[in-house]
Structure 1
Amino acid sequence: MTSVTSSDILNRVGNTPLIKLDSLSNSRINYFAKLEGHNPFGSVKDRAAYWMIKDGEEKGKLTKGKSIIIEPTSGNTGIALTGIANLLGYKVEIVIPEKASNETKDIIRKLGAKVFETSDDLCPKVGAGTDQSIALATSIASSRPDTYYSPNQYANEANFMGHYVGTGPEIWKQTDGKVTHFFTGVGTGGTITGIGAYLKEKNPNVQIIGCQPQQNHLIQGWRNFEESAKPDLFLKRENIVDDWVCVDNDEAFSVVKDVLEKDKLLISPSSAAVYACMKKYPIDGEACVVGIFADDGRKFKSVYSTQNIMTETEFDDALKGAKHMSELAY
């Protein structure tokens, strides 16, 4: 049996599948989901984490055997940073809102990170006095600058670059340059601006649609700009976004079982929110629509049970029968 090396796992970052959503597609419009759950640590954030760590190394901010990476996160970045940092020889400390799913926090601990929980909203906020996770991580990092390094996904250009040179070109190639509309939620802004910038360069007519949740939402990793300031990374290129579509909790969670039944996908709350946005957004004429499904649903058993989407038994059955579930590195 061939052993899997760190390089083997890291080489799996990116090049995720694009699958057609038969439940939405019709004679005029083809809808596709970019399944980022196929990254080795299970989400779109593997891309940003890998690029930010390599950038830190290249700039001399990270020293193996000495540096500790610390980062505030609502979930996926914490998993990705911990998993990838371990492979590259770094210790990690993660600051996470207590409302993040129990499965997410358990995975981060299992991967070896020290976890600090803060009583904060599920989607981290940016701004003085409003985000305990970011404030705590900043405080810890600043107390020992010779040891701690915070990639700061909310302002780090490497986050943008991971999508500009990776995800964007993949989507262009996978659609044979036919993509007309692109949908994704916004957390740090790296995904929408990185992919959007690339697609706009290839075809200025591609419509970049930002998906925004309701206030006090339950979509892990997203932010509502009425209750949360725009991150620096997003502000640099926010003009790339052509339009916005809003989605509430009920709209997002209501499509989870529908997508499972019709497309055989077990999707996460954020993927469900993107699906709901694509479903409700009016498009005239022929089109090729791509949405980012940031991760799959396997981390959200407790969330779906709490929200009465499906019982734990129904979830287990769904997990067994779902298609396009990737093999993870943990």
Structure 2
Amino acid sequence: MIKDGEEKGILKRGHSIIVEPTSGNTGIALTGIASLLGYKTEIVIPEKASNETKEIIRSLGAKVYETSDDLCPKVGAGTDQSIALATSIASSRPDTYYSPNQYANEANFLGHYKGTGPEIWKQTDGTVTHFFTGVGTGGTITGVGAFLKEKNPDVKIIGCQPQKDHLIQGWRNFEESAKPDLFLKREKMVDDWVSVTNAEAFGVVNEVFEKDGLLISPSSAAVYACMKKYDIDSGCVVGIFADDGRKFKSIYSEQKIMTEEEFDNALAKAKHVSKIAYM
């Protein structure tokens, strides 16, 4: 999205300030990349997001505004607190502020259509039959879905949706929030939906760690829980684990999934944990 803004000439190094509503991951990515490229960043984030997430964004240099929004910023007039605040900030000085607006930005879709989708196809040697992911902006499910269905129209694209008043950072319940514009463009790409409760999602965090040595996030756990409960006789099933668990020590402690000591021990033993610059 940053590259797209620069190519269109609306994002200018040494001049523009990036402002964006986020539930976490996009805010971290934007702030980190912006810092490397010399941009200042202002992030609007729901106060319910984990303390670790907000601390990472601040440590990367962003100015952070917190709202009493859902864990995934709501879309829709009268409910979109984080998005409305970011839009207000951007419109106050349009010559200076640039908002990528991940909830409507076609570059979000294209990133997954050109990147994540081909990666999955290649790594499965074209054998993937089912694809599971949650929905926040809709970029992942529609971008990956569009690519996979072009390769094989029989691939099933399955959306995972959390319960109302959920605790899954980055996910959206469509009874509580309108659908983002980016998702609405291609919502028919989704073949089926699976609902998941907070209890089901948090209930598999330790299971995944014990079986596979992976310390995963609540959203990754929710995908795994949806995959478990969906009836599939055979095939090659792919689910997106969009985050590891490093930003959720406080959440897991609050939800009594792990004590802080148990979390630290799990992190020390966890497999496939990449090195990152901000922690």
Per-residue CA deviations over 1:175-221 (Å, capped at 9, x if unaligned) read 00000000000000000000000000000000000000000100000
Range that drifts further, 197-206 or 124-133 = 124-133
> How do 1:177-326 residues align onto structure 2 when only pairs under 5 Å count?
177-284=126-233, 286-326=234-274
- 1:208 aligns to what SS in structure 2? strand
CA–CA distance in structure 2, aligned partners of residues 279 and 62 of structure 1: 43
* 1:291 aligned partner, one-letter code: G
- 2:245 aligns to what SS in structure 1? coil
Per-residue CA deviations over 1:57-96 (Å, capped at 9, x if unaligned) read 0000111111000000111111010001111221100001
Unaligned runs of 5+ residues in structure 1 are 1-51
C-alpha root-mean-square deviation of aligned residues, in Å? 0.6
* 1:63 aligned partner, one-letter code: K
* 1:95 aligned partner, one-letter code: V
Larger relative contact order, structure 1 or 2 (CA cutoff 8 Å, min sep 6): 1
CA–CA distance in structure 1, aligned partners of residues 178 and 133 of structure 2: 18
Q: Structure 2-normalised TM-score?
A: 0.99
Structure 1 residue aligned with 2:32 = 83
* 2:248 aligned partner, one-letter code: F
Per-residue CA deviations over 1:247-272 (Å, capped at 9, x if unaligned) read 00000000000111011000000000
Alignment length (residue pairs): 278
Corresponding residue to 2:106 among 152, 157, 180: 157
Structure 1 residue aligned with 2:10 = 61
CA–CA distance in structure 1, aligned partners of residues 20 and 109 of structure 2: 17
Q: CA deviation at 1:119?
A: 1.4
Structure 2 residue aligned with 1:17 = none
> 4+ residue runs of structure 1 moved beyond 6 angstroms?
none
CA–CA distance in structure 1, aligned partners of residues 277 and 223 of structure 2: 25
CA–CA distance in structure 2, aligned partners of residues 175 and 317 of structure 1: 33
Q: CA deviation at 1:148?
A: 0.2
Unaligned runs of 5+ residues in structure 2 are none
